Copies of this chain bind each other. A is one copy, B any other.
Amino acid sequence: MTDAATTETDAVLAANLEFYRAFGTCDYPAMNALWARSAPVQCIHPGWPAIMGREPVMRSWRNLLTSPEPTRVACHDDQAILYEDFALVICEEELSAGNLVATNMFVKEDGRWRMVQHQASPLIGRAQPPRPPQRRRSDRR
């Protein structure tokens, strides 16, 4: 991997961790800042139909992040996949309700990786493997 690709990989993984930090700490302004302004955005929360467009997507996050019972979420096994003008991070999410597999999609806007889509799907019939603390990427912050 070239130095430039390493830097981009690090940058998109950092954006992904920022998503989980904002999610886990109920930081709506940070969540709002993370999502793209110009590019179309969509979100598929687990079990929900797709939410299309920035305003409804951010309304869903505002509702989730101001819920009286905030979601505890940890992200691990995050892998970045870089394409020419966009990037994906595929990772697993640990929530109290169960484990999910998520795809987070990013495009560059104003030189920053911004989120254009989040889709999280339940993992079925998967024993939760023991993981050493250093593999929990969201614990690094």
Interfacial residues, chain A to chain B (CB-CB below 8 A): 39-40, 42, 44, 46-50, 52, 79, 81, 83-86, 88, 90, 92, 101, 103, 105, 107, 116-117, 119-126
Chain B nearest CB from A104 CB (Å) reads 11
Contact A42 B85 (CB under 8 A): no
Partner of A47, one of B44, B49, B107, B125: B125
CA distance A39 to B85 in the complex (A): 12
> Which among A50, A90, A125 has the highest number of chain B CB atoms within 10 Å?
A50
Chain B nearest CB from A25 CB (Å) reads 25
Chain B nearest CB from A9 CB (Å) reads 12
Q: Is the interface of A mostly helix, strand, loop or mixed?
A: strand
**Residues in B whose Cβ lies below 8 Å from that of A81:** 40, 42
**Residues in B whose Cβ lies below 8 Å from that of A103:** 42, 44, 50, 103, 117, 119
Partner of A101, one of B40, B49, B88, B92: B49
Q: List 25 interface pairs A-B (beta carbons < 8 Å), by A numbering.
A: A40-B81, A42-B88, A42-B90, A42-B103, A44-B90, A44-B101, A46-B121, A46-B124, A47-B124, A49-B123, A50-B79, A50-B90, A50-B103, A52-B79, A52-B90, A83-B85, A83-B86, A85-B85, A85-B86, A88-B117, A103-B103, A119-B121, A120-B121, A121-B121, A122-B122
